[in-house]
Structure 1
Amino acid sequence: RQQHQQQQQQQQQMPMEGVAQEGDATASSSSSAALAGAVGKRRRRAGNPVVKLSLKLLDTYKTINNKYYARQKSKASAPKPAQSRMVYNDGYDDEAGDYIVREGDIIYERYKIAVRPGSKTPLLGKGSFGQVVYAFDLKENIGVAIKIIKNQKHFHEQARTEIELLRRFLLVPRLPRVPVPHSDYHRDSFLPCTEFVEQSNIVRLLDSFVHRNHQCLVFELLPLSLYDLLKFSKFKGFSLTLVRKLTRNILYNLASLRQSNVDVIHCDLKPENVMLIKHNEYRIKVIDFGSSCSSSHKPFSYIQSRFYRSPEVLLCRHYSYAIDMWSLGCIMVEMHTGSPLFNGKNEFEQMVKIAQMLGLPPSHMIASAGSKSKVKSMFRKVDGKWALKNPSDGYVVHNPRALSMAIRKPNSQEAEQEYADMESLLAGMLALDPDERFSPEQALHHPFFSRTP
């Protein structure tokens, strides 16, 4: 009986289990179908072009940007191919018209470009005119300095003027040696110089020629400039004894340029253009006559480096030999203090600094200025008198003691009388009116130079 009951129970359970299994299968089938549908839908969406372009869009942009800027940075840091510069004058010039200098090149079948002993490059100097390089003269077995002018017409014309002036110096006869009378200063006296005033004070032009469309001037090699000397002093300046020696020699030079058979206004006197003949001597030669002219022919109006530019040139007025004396006065102070006397950032600021130290130029100079627009930008009339604007449209106040303070170095051991003599000399060399400015001969008679040495 028990077995029979068990069999009946098993038979009753069997259909129920089948129903359950069938239900489970149906549910499972529905779930699988739903999952498959969702996957299929996602696949269809993923295959849609719009969806493809939109997924992780910011990441895509970021990747593109990173790659772009990486390429740009790589281009900027990559060295410029040498051949990309060689596209002017059959590959001999750069884009600025300068000759491409290569160590070992031989110019004019005579001058071999080389690195000067103690230097890392053949380049000795560079400017708006072109460049100066060191070379070895294979014929004379000496080092020389070659000024290679830019391949531009107006620089060629300027260089030819310089060549003409330098050749003129070779024709100047020597002046006799006449002792300086150490008498009381007299501003109208004329002084034949104590040295031979001739071409020995001027840099020697050894050769000139045209090489691959570049005018070249070959000069004697000089060791260093006044600016180099100032750099060696860490711009602390020189003693008044040394300033006296150097200034006297430059004055001899300017006196020679004013001779009637020379008649040269240098027009760019500055420490870089005054060279020492030897390291251990303080005799000098003046270089760079590229802006020079004669008193009767002045082709250039924009002359003189700004720190050494005279008031008459700032006002675009007629100029004369006196502009070189102004420049020398500025150089004289700089040699002692190590800093430029007037270091304006532009022409207006230059005039402001001059006016603060020395006062305004005379009214007749302002009224007769060659550029009315420049006068209008610098000056204004106040109660019928000229006044100089300052950057805030106020007025510049002249300090009568400014020059006296400017020439003195802190904790200086120089005698006060020497400073007084120097200030008196500078008052004449820096006279605002060029007609009242000292000539070289008048300056050399000043008590400042009567001291020994």
Structure 2
Amino acid sequence: MDFTEKTKTPHPPMNQKLHYSPSSLSQILLFKSRLLRFLNKIPALFIPKCELIFRHLLFRIGFEEEKNFHVVLNSVIAGRYHVTEYLGAAAFSKALQAHDMHTGVDVCIKIIKNNKDFFDQSLDEIKLLKHVNKHDPGDKYHILRLYDYFYFREHLLIVCELLKANLYEFDKFNRESGAEVYFTMPRLQVCGVLLTF
């Protein structure tokens, strides 16, 4: 093979999001962090100021000081998801309700905070959901469905089916309305057995 011959590789359109496996996402971030460490060893005297700014924008590792994804209602994420409602926040993520413009279905988008530990936990969550969904293709056990995941504006986003109420709110409603307690030990044990299928 002639190594002087240039080959063109097809590039996706600018508005198309790229899909990576969880392991390749961590490899990309590791490569970018190593490259940034190498570039930071180069004395600043040899690099013009505009090139320093370009280098900073180009080689951001994704775990900078800004850990929050600013949510704007009625905005479109990744050219596909129209944000309709802010659902809430947890320790390491925010949840949005959005309308998938490709399928016409309402979905939940979980935006992971920009932190290495949270990112790693979320990759494990993606692997677990993919495994569980793979073994329940007919949705027989009614386990949360993972639709999509991608990296957008330095945040990992997980797209899954939209559920109505979380377990805490459901249990609180049951207790306040005087209904029977739903989460009893025998019921939780049955759920545990069903999840091992």
Deviations 1:116-154 (A, max 9, x none): xxxxxx2x1211212111111111112111000011111
2:74, 2:65 → 1: CA distance? 22
Cα–Cα, structure 1 residues 109 and 212, in superposed 2: closer, same or farther, change >3 Å?
same
Deviations 1:309-354 (A, max 9, x none): xxxxxxxxxxxxxxxxxxxxxxxxxxxxxxxxxxxxxxxxxxxxxx
Structure in which a larger fraction of residues adopt helix: 1
**Structure 2 counterpart of 1:227:** 168
**Structure 2 counterpart of 1:114:** 84
1:125, 1:163 → 2: CA distance? 20
Cα–Cα, structure 1 residues 94 and 152, in superposed 2: closer, same or farther, change >3 Å?
closer
**Structure 2 counterpart of 1:105:** 75
**Structure 2 counterpart of 1:239:** 180
2:136, 2:174 → 1: CA distance? 37
Cα–Cα, structure 1 residues 170 and 113, in superposed 2: closer, same or farther, change >3 Å?
same
1:113, 1:95 → 2: CA distance? 25
Cα–Cα, structure 1 residues 247 and 98, in superposed 2: closer, same or farther, change >3 Å?
farther
2:109 is the alignment partner of 1:146:
yes
2:99 is the alignment partner of 1:136:
yes
| Unmatched segments (≥5 aa) in structure 2 | 1-56
Q: Secondary structure at the residue paired with 1:200?
A: coil
2:191 is the alignment partner of 1:253:
yes
Q: Secondary structure at the residue paired with 1:163?
A: helix
Point out which structure has higher relative CO (alpha carbons under 8 A, 6+ apart).
2
**Structure 2 counterpart of 1:207:** 148
1:254 positional shift? 1.6
Matched AA of 1:99: F
TM normalised by structure 2 equals: 0.58
Deviations 1:353-381 (A, max 9, x none): xxxxxxxxxxxxxxxxxxxxxxxxxxxxx
1:150, 1:199 → 2: CA distance? 32
CA-based RMSD of the aligned residues comes to 3.2
1:202, 1:251 → 2: CA distance? 16
Counting aligned pairs with the same residue, the percent is 31
- Map 1:25-424; keep pairs closer than 5 Å: 97-115=67-85, 122=86, 124-172=87-135, 200-233=141-174, 235=176, 237-239=178-180, 248=187, 250-259=188-197
Structure possessing the higher radius of gyration over alpha carbons: 1
**Structure 2 counterpart of 1:418:** none
Cα–Cα, structure 1 residues 112 and 158, in superposed 2: closer, same or farther, change >3 Å?
same
2:180, 2:174 → 1: CA distance? 11
Cα–Cα, structure 1 residues 96 and 128, in superposed 2: closer, same or farther, change >3 Å?
farther
2:167, 2:174 → 1: CA distance? 11
Q: Secondary structure at the residue paired with 2:114?
A: coil
Asked if the contact 1:147–1:216 (Cα under 8 Å) also holds between the matched residues in 2, the reply is yes
Cα–Cα, structure 1 residues 247 and 212, in superposed 2: closer, same or farther, change >3 Å?
farther
1:251, 1:237 → 2: CA distance? 23
Matched AA of 2:101: L
**Structure 2 counterpart of 1:69:** none
Deviations 1:213-244 (A, max 9, x none): 1100011011112322344357354225x566
| Unmatched segments (≥5 aa) in structure 1 | 1-88, 116-121, 175-195, 260-453
Cα–Cα, structure 1 residues 258 and 233, in superposed 2: closer, same or farther, change >3 Å?
closer
Cα–Cα, structure 1 residues 151 and 142, in superposed 2: closer, same or farther, change >3 Å?
same
Cα–Cα, structure 1 residues 165 and 226, in superposed 2: closer, same or farther, change >3 Å?
closer
